[in-house]
Amino acid sequence: MSGRVQRKIAGSLDPQGLADFKVGVDNVIFSVDTAQNRLLVLLVMRQEDPFLGQWSLPGTLVQHGESLEDAAYRVLSEKIRVENLYLEQLYTFGGPDRDPREAKSSYGVRYLSVSYFALVRFAESELIADRVSGIAWYPLDQVPPLAFDHNQILEYGYRRLRNKLEYSPIAFEVLPELFTLNDLYQLYTTVLGENFADYSNFRARLLKHRFLADTGIKVSRGAGRPATLYRFDAVAFAPLKDKPLVFI
Amino acid sequence: MSGRVQRKIAGSLDPQGLADFKVGVDNVIFSVDTAQNRLLVLLVMRQEDPFLGQWSLPGTLVQHGESLEDAAYRVLSEKIRVENLYLEQLYTFGGPDRDPREAKSSYGVRYLSVSYFALVRFAESELIADRVSGIAWYPLDQVPPLAFDHNQILEYGYRRLRNKLEYSPIAFEVLPELFTLNDLYQLYTTVLGENFADYSNFRARLLKHRFLADTGIKVSRGAGRPATLYRFDAVAFAPLKDKPLVFI
DNA sequence: GCAAAAGTGTTCCGACTACACCCATGC
DNA sequence: GCATGGGTGTAGTCGGAACACTTTTGC
């Protein structure tokens, strides 16, 4: 009896077969090309097996002494030079057999992926291509089949993007520092589809909140009246943080 | 010299020093005692080092061939018998040094915790106490200092609970099968604080949606007019799923 | 009858919708 | 001038907030 209890207790230190893991971090990095109104994801070409030569989300395995978030930042900084970015944890995918490296022997090492969600400004970002590596912004609707379960992770990240767009000011992490209200509106339509308020109402609602600062600068893009450039005023927004605020 | 290189290469599925992980799953399990209007968390007393004898979230380490979610269900089923439950992934905590077992040698095994968020019905649940183990429902405002970073995880879970309560029908996962509208209202006030609509408006709004089925049954609790028991009608709710629906 | 709890109704007001209209520019 | 896109105004409507009121029970 007491032996059994012993076994159980000792057991949790291992005999039942604790899995050993390598932990990977995969980033879903979005950006928006304001000029062409396209939502973009950053993809890299895999340089090694498995899935050599196939597109994938930029990722890496976590090293000694490195936190998950550190690893996420490291991948980013290896692939892209960018001033400002938004990063948050997305989801952890960890079923057995999600990675072929573990499939051979089911008692071997497991691979687990902690995914992160990132937003960067297209104009401010510069891709880092060492001579061999493929790296590219892909329009979301042209993403090819990816390595591992990365299509699923990407799907998950896109859902997060759409949700966040509705109730938090992440739009300003992808837009340029200065933007017109139309840029903002276009961003919402390209990401969310057309299912929301028309431009004048969208405009009125946002301006009412007073966290968009009018820079006074005008830009002309071809024909038509020049548009005013606005800047997101984080200070003015601060009190509204955590409030249930809808951007729609 | 070559010894050194060898060592590195041996580590060389991980030239740069990939960390090896054990992956734990920790559950934040909430319930509500409708009778006393208290929000409860399930805690267990640790039976082994580190943190022997200290309260913690119920958790386990992931075994061979077991998915993260499987592991989460396993912990649950070892601690509690319950008919119905809601489970979703919460967050992954993985900084180095979050677990003292890894602190000794910073190049040893890392421990990573994937946390899950669960809701169970208080009345339908039965705690499984083998004679040695401590296991108990703690009112949220009386939770003691917990092992590891579990207070932080709990905090995170509580935030998720509050958010989800506002826009998804998780309340019905913690309430008994049949409940009065007052039960529902009390649940919202105990979890969220008093910051929302008064009872009549709350009531009117929910009934309008028509996913609460009137059972016709009345219950009397002391003085006052007897209350009608309602049941959550998942079928009637289905079309509203994914719609931006506010329960407040 | 009276207190207590459940349940209904009504008025007020702010916010969103839809749409019409004015403004500044390129050509 | 006129086409094009930027920007403003307004009338109608829907829904939530607040609160008064009615109903049904225990004692």
Task: Kindly write down the DSSP assignment for every residue of B71-103, as one continuous string.
Answer: HHHHHHHHHEE-S-EEEEEEEEE--TTSSHHHH
Above 90 in pLDDT, residue A150? yes
CB A153 within 8 A of CB A115: yes
**Residues A31 and A130 reside in one and the same domain:** yes
Q: Summarize pLDDT for B176-218 with one digit per residue, the tens.
A: 999 999 999 999 999 988 777 889 999 999 999 999 999 999 9
- Residue A244 pLDDT: 66
Domain match, A64 and A91 both: yes
Please give the C-alpha separations between residue B108 and each of B17, B49, B52, B97, B103, in angstroms, as whole numbers.
Answer: 11, 17, 21, 11, 8
**Contact by Cβ (8 Å): A115, A156:** yes
Which nucleotide, over all strands, has the C1' atom closest to the CA of B248?
Answer: D16
- Give the pLDDT of residue A23: 94
Chain A residues 43-82 with CB within 8 Å of chain B:
61-69
B67-82 residue pLDDT tens: 999 999 999 999 999 9
Nearest to B125 by CA among B171, B178, B173, B89: B173
Pick the last residue of a domain from B125, B150, B167.
B167
Distances (CA, A) of A116 to A158, A167, B194: 12, 19, 35
Is residue A30 within a helix (H) or strand (E), and if so which, with residue range?
strand A21-33
Residue A186 has pLDDT above 70, yes or no: yes
- pLDDT-derived band at B102 (thresholds 50, 70, 90) equals low
Between A238 and B10, the more confident residue is A238
Q: How far is CA A44 from CA A33, A60, A114, B144, B171, in A?
A: 18, 12, 18, 47, 42
Q: Answer yes or no: do A93 and A115 share one domain.
A: yes
B227 CA, D12 C1': Å apart? 39
How many structural domains comprise chain B? 2
Of the pLDDT bands very low, low, confident and very high (cuts 50, 70, 90), residue A158 is: very high
More confident residue, A132 or B214: B214
Tell me whether residue A203 is in a domain.
yes
Q: How far is B45 from chain A (nearest CA, A)?
A: 13
Is some CB atom of chain A closer than 8 A to the CB atom of B238?
no
B3 in any annotated domain: no
Chain B neighbors of A65, CB-CB under 8 A: 19, 96, 106
Q: Do A89 and B94 touch (CB under 8 A)?
A: no
pLDDT in tens, B18-46: 889 999 999 999 999 988 889 999 999 99
Which A-chain residues 170-209 have CB contacts (< 8 A) with chain B? none
Which residue is associated with the tokens 């992808």?
A174
Compute the average pLDDT of residues A221-248: 86
Does one domain contain both A24 and A130? yes
Do the bridges between strand A38-45 and strand A21-33 make them parallel or antiparallel, or are there none, so unpaired? antiparallel
- Same domain for B196 and B116? no
Does residue A186 share a domain with residue A108?
Answer: no
Same domain, A142 and A233: no
Contact A56, A147 (CB under 8 A): yes
- Residue A220 and residue A163 share a domain: no
pLDDT in tens, B228-245: 999 999 999 998 887 767
Query: Is position B12 within any domain?
Result: no
Helix (H) or strand (E) holding A234: helix A234-237
Q: Which pLDDT score is estimated for B6?
A: 34
Check if residue B132 sits with its Cβ under 7 angstroms from strand D.
Answer: no
Amino acid sitting at position B248: I
Q: So what's the pLDDT on residue B227?
A: 95
How far is residue A186's CA from residue A171's CA, in Å, rounded to a whole number? 11
Residues A114, A46: Cα–Cα separation, whole Å: 18
Q: Is residue A23 part of a domain?
A: yes
Select from B108, B142, B167 the last residue of a domain: B167
Give chain A residues 103-122 with Cβ within 7 A of strand D.
none
The pLDDT > 90 percentage for chain B reads 64
CATH number for position B234: 1.10.10.10
* pLDDT, greater one: A94 or B132: A94
* pLDDT over 50 at B5, yes or no: no
CA–CA separation, A97 and A49 (whole Å): 16
pLDDT reading at A208 higher than 80: yes
CA B93 to chain CA centroid, nearest Å: 15
As a 3-state breakdown, chain B gives helix, strand, coil percent values, each rounded to 5, of 35, 30, 35
- Same structural domain, A131 and A187: no
| Eight-state DSSP code of residue B11 | G
In terms of DSSP bridges, do strands A110-120 and A21-33 run parallel, antiparallel, or are they unpaired? parallel
Mutate to test the interface with B, among A75, A78, A112 (most CBs of B within 10 A): A112
Q: How confident is the model at residue B1 (pLDDT cuts 50, 70, 90)?
A: very low
| Res A103 pLDDT > 90 | no
Q: Are residues A128 and A211 in the same domain?
A: no
Q: What is the CA radius of gyration of chain B?
A: 22
**Which residue of A lies nearest to B49 if distances are taken between CA atoms?**
A13
Q: Which of A247, A91, A88 minimizes the C-alpha distance to A172?
A: A247
Which DSSP string corresponds to B14-54? Answer: -TT-BPPEEEEEEEEEEEEETTTTEEEEEEEE--SSSSTT-
pLDDT band with cut points at 50, 70 and 90 for residue A225: very high
Distance from CA(A176) to C1'(D8), angstroms, rounded: 26
**What type of residue is B61?**
L
Q: How far apart are CA A40 and CA A52, in angstroms?
A: 23
| Residue B103 confidence (pLDDT) above 60 | no
A245 within a domain of the structure (yes/no): no
- Alpha-carbon distance of B153 to B147, in angstroms, equals 11
In the listed set A108, A140, A167, which residue is the last one of a domain according to the structure? A167
Question: Which domain CATH number covers A32?
Answer: 3.90.79.10
Residue A34 forms part of a structural domain: yes
- Bigger pLDDT: B83 vs B151: B151
**Is the confidence at residue A32, as pLDDT, over 80?**
yes
Same domain, B190 and B109: no
Q: Residues B109-133: pLDDT tens digits?
A: 889 999 999 999 998 899 997 766 7
B132 and B196 within one domain: no
Residues in chain A: 248
What is the amino acid identity at position B107?
A: Y
d(CA A185, CA A32): 13
Sequence letter at residue A195: N
At B97, is the pLDDT very low, low, confident or very high (cuts 50, 70, 90)?
Answer: confident
Confidence grade of residue B17 (pLDDT, cut at 50, 70, 90): confident
Write out the residue range of the structural domain in which residue A63 sits: 17-167
Residue B9 in domain? no
Specify the higher pLDDT residue, B193 or B224. Answer: B224
